Chain A
Amino acid sequence: MAYTKEQIQEMIRQEAKKALATGEVSAVVGWTSTRFEDRTKPFFAETESECDLLVWNEYCINGTAKYALDDRYPEKKLAVIARGCDSRAINRLIQDKQVKRENLYIIGVACDGKDNPICKECQHKNPLTFDVLVGEEVEEQINADRFAEVLAFEKLTPDERYDYWAKQYDKCIHCYACRNACPACNCIECYADQYRTGWQGKAADREQNQVYGLTRVYHVGDRCIECGECERVCPMDLPIMRQTRKMLKDINDLFGDYECGLPDDRKPVLGEYKLEDPDEFM
């Protein structure tokens, strides 16, 4: 029998308390309510009583994994309440050697789909990596069409595509929110912040935004876990996943089925090669 939201919420609170009670965990990252009924915010529960402020509902949309990078050299474990996407984000961070698995305590919880458009294409509602699972697993949707949007966009003419993106990048305010939310953007120092090498400018004009936009796709494209945080946090509503998914689609077309953040040892596509890869540069 499936559990109700309230039951799961209670179980999350209990697991959080248990984790804190071990003394090995500094805090539990989850969600808490806000003054708006249809919004939650990320929340660090550090005491038993704070655990009772953790909530579980369809508005728990913020990713929790990236908070593991707040302290890259922690003395205690961080407990993370992880849905499918959060667990993939954690795998991303582990595979990129940015956090150590032993520094995390993962409270897995199957996601029922949140009030977030990207959840419609989700293929991993159940957490893939966890220490304890709250509630029970849910049925995964198969054949979710991740690339429909990209396919449709590819049909436009080059000029239409350019104009579309130019308009989008005209809106961009170069705030780097997409970078800060992305679990694949985990460099200690981003290339974009390097002043002397001057990879790109910092001004929020169309061209410099374009350079940032393209470089961002290239940097994360083969490691993207498709959580959609970049797009969700964008204050100017840029369709960022439409860019990243393009690269993912090409990877799938050229090099075989490919998804990131799964608990396997597969290297990112650009970090390996096969002799029999397709070749169009002859």
Chain B
Amino acid sequence: MARIGVFICHCGTNIASVVDVERVAESAKTMPGVVFATTYKYMCSEPGQAMIKESIEQYNLDRIVIGSCSPRMHELTFRKMLKGTKINPYMLEIANLREQCAWVHTDREKATEKAIGLVQMSVAKVANNKPLTTSTIPITKRALVIGGGIAGMQAALDIADCGFDVTIVEKEPSIGGHMVMLDKTFPTMDCSACISTPKMVECNAHPNITLKTSCEVEKVSGYVGNFEVTIKEKAKYVNHDLCTGCGLCQTKCPTKVTSEFDQGLSKRPAIYIPFAQAVPSKPVIDANACLKLTKDKCGICEKVCPIGAIDYKDEVSYTTEEYGAIVIATGYELVDWAEMYPEYGGGKYKDVITGLQFERLVNASGPTEGHIVRPSDGKEPKDVVIVKCVGSRDPKKGKSYCSRACCMYSAKHAHQILDKIPNSRVYIFYMDVRTPGKGYEEFYDNTRRDGAQYIRGRVSKIYKEGSKLIVRGEDSLIGKPVTVEADMVILATAMEPSPTVADVANKLGIAIDADRWVTEAHPKLRPVETQTNGIYLCGTCQGPKDIPDTVAQGSAAAAKVAALLCHDEMETSPMISFVDPNKCSGCGFCEGVCPYKAITMVEYAGRDGNRRVTKTVAQVNEGLCQGCGCCNAICRTGCIDLKGFTNDQILKEVDALCL
């Protein structure tokens, strides 16, 4: 039989002025299992706590109910207090007599009746409490960053600077991501490569960072502090341990294919270093283009390599490593506008380009060495049209969201054209101009002063007449159609998550939204955490953003990782689900509703009548379970239950309140 002590707090006059606390205590004495009940002015004070401790000894209590303020206020205080007694800290229930009784009622009689009811509910519940113990799990002090763009690099550098080992997994042959493709960055117009390549070099040189380029995450298991990640390394066909990066091979390679880095505006060989400042600055072979690998011909690179680093027999390899924390920074891609907008030529006009292609055109290390020319005939354009919101803010054809960076980079593009091409004219078709950011509005103002003509309206059609591109749209401010004869059109296409994100998120067990952006644990208060403990996010995998925001998130994620990794072990909440394997039918419905993938179906040596059989039953991973209880309510048998909120406890609460 339980020996329950009930302690009713006056909370000065907060509770006592409305609730007759003495009557509540007297009434509590008659409740089943209660052996002692009393009141005190401030239960949370030192003397109050001392009094509770003494009563526990004196009346040999094995569980207590405290009628006081909200459990959200002092549950932890009283649990800590119980740590010094013979009672387990979880043999405690709190009746909320202040926030949900005294403070919201005025009728003393009715409030007292309600208080008695609330205490009765807590007494009924605590009678069914079980001692719970927190367990600790060790933490592997290493972090994995998925994606080596500016977000991933920033996160990795900050974590590494805290003294923890970091691995960056990058699917491309070089880290750097999109930022290193860009020419200048708004609004300061500093050279993008000049500020991002030092980060790349630092990542490579940092003693705590391991770069894994041409690699992908294959499998993730485990939980916070204890992830086991299998990383797939794609075949590079070049032994990077031997290669010195002299680059001779790529000058001799006879095959030429479209360059990804230059956004299709130039060619690269089949054995290639993606770009001049690539890290690692060592080549890989494109297996789809290489003559040796596709047709068993050529083999020139092997012949010219002075140190024999070429290895045509290289294969995919897998390594499995342990990490304590994971950061996802898989970044973005531009949407395939050609499919969405056939009326813009659907990709058949060479001089209709994306903003990212323009970045390569205007970049001094790009295919034209920074000369802005038409891809079709190499002539300098005089009239350039920039079309904003291509795929963004267009739920019918593209995405409903705003891609955030386009207004600013379009202004930057206009500024660069007007600056570099004398007597040029730039027309910008826009829906709204959005410039929230330090120095952004000023930059936009300057661009307009430079002469960029902003036309409010969508472009309805782009077609070719002679060498000109005819851009037709509507100026919605004057309500009249406009036609511009342009030499080149730049589309500010929408950002969308990297195509790999769904796969990576699935492996990590984290949520993505309808547009495939990674979902954060809380949009305001936990912006760089996912709902799975130990997995963090940063950069454009979470939503469109510009470089400053991306870098800030990278550092924020790093701070969260460091805050986790600086501990040797972490306590897990004991209020988690548990399974009675003997009753479990193994239907697996609980597994399906768990938001944390904390439930797995495992084999269990059970009985079927007189036979020993191997059953398949649900099992809860204590490191992953967060104690929501969704699985409990879907279990028909009730064999998966939640410690601290068991079916039994809640049914007894219901019974007590309805009596």
Interface residues of A (CB under 8 A from B): 72-73, 96-98, 186-191, 194, 196-199, 219, 267-268, 270-272, 275
Contacts and interface: CB of A to CB of B under 8 A. Distances in A.
Contacts of A189: 583, 585, 637, 639
B616 A97 contact: yes
Contacts of A194: 637-638
A97 B588 contact: yes
Nearest to B647: A197
B318 interface: no
A186 B589 contact: no
B637 A275 contact: no
B634 A187 contact: no
A113 B8 CA distance: 68
Contacts of A186: 585, 587
Given A197-B638, A275-B514, A268 B589 contact: yes
Contact of B585 (A187, A197, A272, A275): A187
A199 B651 contact: yes
Interface in B622-638: 634, 636-638
Contact of A73 (B514, B585, B611, B638): B611
B586 interface: yes
6 contacts: A73-B608, A97-B587, A97-B588, A98-B585, A189-B583, A219-B636
A98 B588 CA distance: 10
Contact of A72 (B514, B593, B608, B636): B608
Interface in B600-643: 608, 611, 613, 616, 634, 636-639
Contacts of B585: 96-98, 186-189
A-B pairs with the 5 shortest C-beta distances?
A: A73-B613, A188-B585, A219-B636, A187-B637, A96-B587
B616 A197 contact: no
Nearest to A72: B608
Contacts, number: 55
Nearest to A71: B608
A191 B587 contact: no
Nearest to A96: B587
Contacts of A187: 585, 587, 636-637
B124 to A, nearest CB: 13
Contacts of A268: 589
Given A73-B608, A187-B585, A197-B648, A271 B592 contact: yes
A31 to B, nearest CB: 27
B634 A188 contact: no
Contacts of B613: 72-73
A270 B633 CA distance: 10
Contacts of B586: 97-98
Contact of B638 (A72, A191, A267, A271): A191
A169 B514 CA distance: 46
A95 B326 CA distance: 34
Size bracket of the B interface: 20 to 34
Q: Main SS of the interface on chain A?
A: loop
B637 A191 contact: yes
A272 B592 contact: yes
Nearest to B638: A191
Nearest to A95: B587
A264 to B, nearest CB: 15
B584 interface: yes
A199 B638 contact: yes
Contact of B637 (A188, A196, A198): A188
Nearest to B584: A188
A94 to B, nearest CB: 11
A97 B603 CA distance: 13
A104 B593 CA distance: 29
B621 to A, nearest CB: 20
Nearest to A198: B651
B572 to A, nearest CB: 26
A189 B638 CA distance: 10
B583 A188 contact: yes
A192 to B, nearest CB: 10
Given A72-B608, A98-B585, A198-B651, 9 more contacts: A73-B611, A97-B587, A98-B586, A186-B587, A187-B636, A187-B637, A190-B637, A194-B637, A271-B589
A271 B634 contact: yes
Nearest to A220: B636
B586 to A, nearest CB: 5
B418 to A, nearest CB: 45
A218 B608 CA distance: 27
A75 B585 CA distance: 19
A72 B613 CA distance: 10
A271 B590 CA distance: 8
A272 B514 CA distance: 16
Could you say which of B634, B636, B639, B647 has the most chain A C-beta atoms within 10 Å of its C-beta?
B636
Contacts of A73: 608, 611, 613
A99 to B, nearest CB: 11
Nearest to B641: A197
B593 A271 contact: yes
Nearest to A189: B583
A90 to B, nearest CB: 15
B517 to A, nearest CB: 14
Contacts of A271: 589, 592-593, 634
A270 B634 contact: yes
A191 B584 CA distance: 11
A189 B637 CA distance: 7
A194 B651 CA distance: 14
Contacts of B593: 271
Interface string B504-534: 0000000000100000000000000000000
A96 B588 CA distance: 8
Nearest to B586: A97
Nearest to B593: A271
Contacts of B637: 187-191, 194
Given A72-B608, A73-B608, A73-B613, A191 B651 contact: no
